[in-house]
Structure 1
Amino acid sequence: MDVYTLPNRIFIEDEEVEDVPETTERVLEALYSGKKVQTSLPRPDLVESTFEQLQAV
Structure 2
Amino acid sequence: MISDKEVESERNLKLKPIAGSYNSYSVNEKEKRDWSGNIYLGCVAAILAIAFFT
Q: TM-score, normalised by structure 2?
A: 0.29
**Structure number with larger C-alpha Rg:** 2
Q: Greater relative contact order (Cα 8 A, min sep 6): structure 1 or 2?
A: 1
Q: TM-score, normalised by structure 1?
A: 0.27
